[in-house]
Amino acid sequence: MAKKKIPWEEYLEKISEMLSTLSPEQHDILLQHVSAVKFKKNDIIYKEGDLPTYLFCLISGKVKIYKEGVGGRSQIVRVLGETEYFGYRAYMANEPFVTGASAFEPCIVLKVPMGIIIKFIQENPQLGWFFIQKLARDLGQSDERTVSLTQKHIRGRLAESLLFLKESYGLEEDESTLSIYLSREDLANLSNMTTANAIRTLSAFAAEKLVAIDGRKIKFINIAGLENISRIG
């Protein structure tokens, strides 16, 4: 793990939703234990099999959660944007991480020891409900993605992934270009297909005027067309 610690005080507003559930005493204790870490692009935040110790909250940048597969190929199971919490499920399940996490791009992450968080949850039902809701939403998204990536054909999977990235990260100022620039390998891993199939299918989408491609930039031309492809699978 990269260990470039940086001042964290200016980022507290990003976790105000969680802080609002804490008692004044808990708030003060958390401030004594929170820290901020800066990660470079492709830095590993944690590895599959590591023992969990921290609650992480992504403050800026983008993070991928992935599962290592056969032959070194990985499957991206989640993508994270700003103010999303991660890394805590494994601790609550009393097991090592079953996925890994790494930075898609330079990012800043706040972290709090999980021992402190568990103590607060035991004392504070409101904080416990906060994390139950987070876990429930993550589980629902995971279930939906699993069905999509196992039942849809290649075109449907890639269209669904592009729309998923749009929903997760939004568009640039032109309101057409994805605000995340993925390698073809990452796009393939997100879509549960080979890199060659991802390249071929994305090129087909460009030929059909569904998207425009400029290196790693992907610009939406016909969102309704992609939605239809994703829907019919």
Per-residue pLDDT band for 4 (boundaries 50, 70, 90) equals low
Q: Which domain holds residue 206?
A: 150-232
| Boundary residue ending a domain (116, 138, 160) | 138
In this structure, the answer to whether residues 197 and 218 fall within a common structural domain is yes
CA distance 151 to 226: 17
Q: Residue 144 domain-assigned?
A: no
Per-residue pLDDT band for 113 (boundaries 50, 70, 90) equals very high
Residue (of 182, 197, 196, 192) closest to 69 by Cα position: 192
Domain with residue 99: its CATH number is 2.60.120.10
Enumerate residues 6+ apart whose C-beta is below 8 A from 211.
162, 202, 205, 218, 219, 220, 221, 222, 226
Query: What pLDDT does residue 232 have?
Result: 84
In this structure, the answer to whether residues 86 and 182 fall within a common structural domain is no
Quote the DSSP letter at residue 65. E
Q: Reply yes or no on whether the pLDDT at 1 is more than 50.
A: no
In this structure, the answer to whether residues 70 and 95 fall within a common structural domain is yes
Per-residue pLDDT band for 3 (boundaries 50, 70, 90) equals low
Domain with residue 218: its CATH number is 1.10.10.10
Q: Residue 197 domain-assigned?
A: yes
Q: Residue 117 domain-assigned?
A: yes
In this structure, the answer to whether residues 116 and 179 fall within a common structural domain is no
Per-residue pLDDT band for 5 (boundaries 50, 70, 90) equals low
**Number of folded domains in the chain?**
2
Mean pLDDT of 175-189: 90
In this structure, the answer to whether residues 131 and 165 fall within a common structural domain is no
Q: Which helix (H) or strand (E) holds 44?
A: strand 44-46
In this structure, the answer to whether residues 134 and 159 fall within a common structural domain is no
Per-residue pLDDT band for 36 (boundaries 50, 70, 90) equals very high
Extract the tokens encoding 84.
């999303």
In this structure, the answer to whether residues 83 and 171 fall within a common structural domain is no
Instruction: Say how many residues make up the chain.
Output: 233
In this structure, the answer to whether residues 130 and 222 fall within a common structural domain is no
Per-residue pLDDT band for 69 (boundaries 50, 70, 90) equals confident
Mean pLDDT of 112-125: 95
Per-residue pLDDT band for 78 (boundaries 50, 70, 90) equals confident
Torsion, Cα of 34, 35, 39, 44 (10° steps)? -60
| Boundary residue ending a domain (77, 112, 138) | 138
pTM, 2 dp: 0.81
In this structure, the answer to whether residues 37 and 91 fall within a common structural domain is yes
Query: What pLDDT does residue 96 have?
Result: 96
* Tens digit of each residue's pLDDT (9 = 90 or more) over 151-168: 788 999 999 999 989 988
In this structure, the answer to whether residues 185 and 221 fall within a common structural domain is yes
